[in-house]
């Protein structure tokens, strides 16, 4: 049976999100089904124009899940962060009863499906502007210190790093010494850090580990190590954290952490996610993990928010079921 896809957009302005009331008296995000041959971004732009009369710009993907709209009728919902490209007045179409702006703290009182609520909160948690600026200033300072040709340039770039550290400390509430310690170990040309995650399956369920640090679940993974290939890194992480041996068979995605709905981070991080097949071993915890488990796509456990997002895991299921899918990026 083919799956029906509906794309939805999260538009937040001034601490409120716009929602539409459908014929069932429920509130939902604007959006709808792509037309034949229409890509998702074009479909979402069209749906906002039809349903609210405004033009939008489509941002990063936020989440995706299977939703039972009515008894026996299932739809795959994919949500994106969006922003207005114009400041025209919103006008509801005859597809919905009305639209309204709701403060984010009032969502729990609405008849609003949990997936929509989750997506809205994920967009709200996106990193603030000051963090991106401070991170870029740190990168400029680090690279400048590496290439500085005289003591005067060295002093200027050192001062720039201090200012970037103070900006990050003021914005995050963390101690300046803590921020400085995080970055002082980095030398040379500034580049993103690289992590790996392995999606291994057994009987159609994905292998996950409970992290000792926060008691929540994640796909096995961690930082890439020096003198190891990406394949070697992810296979090592699976064995160290779960006790299983595995073989990486496909690079499914390379994702920029900033665009995937993660909590803000001072670091710029790319994560390489691989589809892997288990080749042996038995469940075994480690210093980093306290439990090993396999989970169905629709019964995911409480996820470790800094390590993986629900929509990323669902994309791993998609790549597992359809190996011909191209690798995803950004």
pLDDT of 32 > 70? The answer is: yes
pLDDT-derived band at 38, boundaries 50, 70, 90: confident
pLDDT for the residue 1: 45
pLDDT for the residue 112: 92
Q: Which long-range contacts (CB under 8 A, 24 or more apart) does 257-262 make?
A: 258/127, 258/132, 259/59, 259/60, 259/61, 259/330, 260/60, 260/61, 260/309, 260/311, 260/312, 261/60, 261/62, 261/63, 261/122, 261/123, 261/125, 261/126, 261/309, 261/311, 262/125, 262/305, 262/306, 262/309
Q: Once rounded to an integer, what is the mean pLDDT over residues 199-228? A: 96
Q: Which of 96-110, 114-128, 140-154 has the lowest mean pLDDT?
A: 114-128
Q: Does this model's pTM top 0.75?
A: no
pLDDT of 130 > 90? The answer is: no
Q: How large a percentage of the chain has pLDDT more than 90?
A: 58
- Max Cα-Cα span within the chain: 72
pLDDT for the residue 126: 65
CA distance 12 to 256: 22
Distances (CA, A) of 108 to 9, 112, 118, 120, 308: 19, 8, 11, 12, 24
pLDDT for the residue 195: 97
pLDDT of 172 > 90? The answer is: no
Which residue is it, tokens 């306290």? 290
Average pLDDT over all residues of the chain? 89
Which tens digits make up the pLDDT trace of 63-113? 888 887 667 778 889 999 888 776 678 999 999 999 999 988 889 889 999
Which tens digits make up the pLDDT trace of 254-313? 999 887 877 777 888 999 999 999 999 999 999 999 999 999 998 999 999 889 988 899
Cβ neighbours around 199 below 10 Å, total: 29
pLDDT of 127 > 70? The answer is: no
Distances (CA, A) of 161 to 9, 85, 157, 293, 315: 37, 35, 6, 43, 38
Which tens digits make up the pLDDT trace of 183-198? 777 788 889 999 999 9
pLDDT for the residue 3: 60
């Amino acid at each position: 049976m083919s799956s029906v896809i509906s794309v939805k957009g999260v538009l937040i302005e001034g601490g409120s999100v716009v929602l539409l009331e459908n014929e069932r008296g429920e509130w939902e995000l604007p959006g709808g089904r792509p037309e034949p041959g229409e890509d998702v971004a074009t479909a979402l732009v069209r749906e906002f124009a039809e349903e609210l009369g405004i033009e939008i710009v489509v941002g990063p993907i936020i989440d995706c899940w299977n939703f039972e709209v009515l008894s026996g009728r299932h739809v795959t919902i994919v949500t994106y962060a969006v922003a207005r490209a114009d400041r025209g007045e919103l006008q509801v179409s005859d597809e919905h009863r009305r639209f309204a702006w709701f403060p984010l703290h009032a969502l729990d009182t609405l008849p609003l499906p949990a997936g929509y609520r989750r997506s809205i909160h994920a967009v709200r948690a996106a990193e603030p502007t000051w963090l991106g600026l401070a991170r870029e200033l740190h990168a400029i300072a680090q690279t400048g210190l590496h290439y500085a040709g005289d003591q005067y340039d060295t002093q200027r770039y050192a001062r720039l790093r201090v200012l970037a550290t103070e900006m990050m400390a003021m914005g995050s509430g963390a101690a300046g010494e803590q921020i400085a310690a995080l970055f002082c170990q980095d030398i040379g040309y500034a580049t993103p850090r690289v992590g790996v995650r392995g999606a291994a399956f057994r009987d159609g369920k994905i292998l996950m580990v409970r992290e000792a640090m926060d008691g929540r679940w994640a796909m096995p993974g961690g930082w890439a190590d020096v003198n190891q290939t990406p394949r070697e890194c992810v296979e090592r992480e699976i064995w160290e954290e779960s006790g299983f041996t595995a073989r990486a068979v496909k690079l499914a995605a390379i994702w920029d952490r900033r665009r995937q709905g993660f909590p803000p981070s001072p670091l710029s991080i790319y994560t390489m996610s691989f589809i892997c097949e288990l080749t042996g071993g038995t469940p075994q915890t480690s210093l980093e993990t306290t439990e090993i488990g396999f989970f169905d796509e629709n019964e995911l456990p409480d996820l470790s928010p800094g390590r993986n997002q629900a929509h990323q895991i669902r994309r791993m299921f998609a790549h597992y079921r359809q190996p011909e899918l191209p690798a995803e990026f950004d």
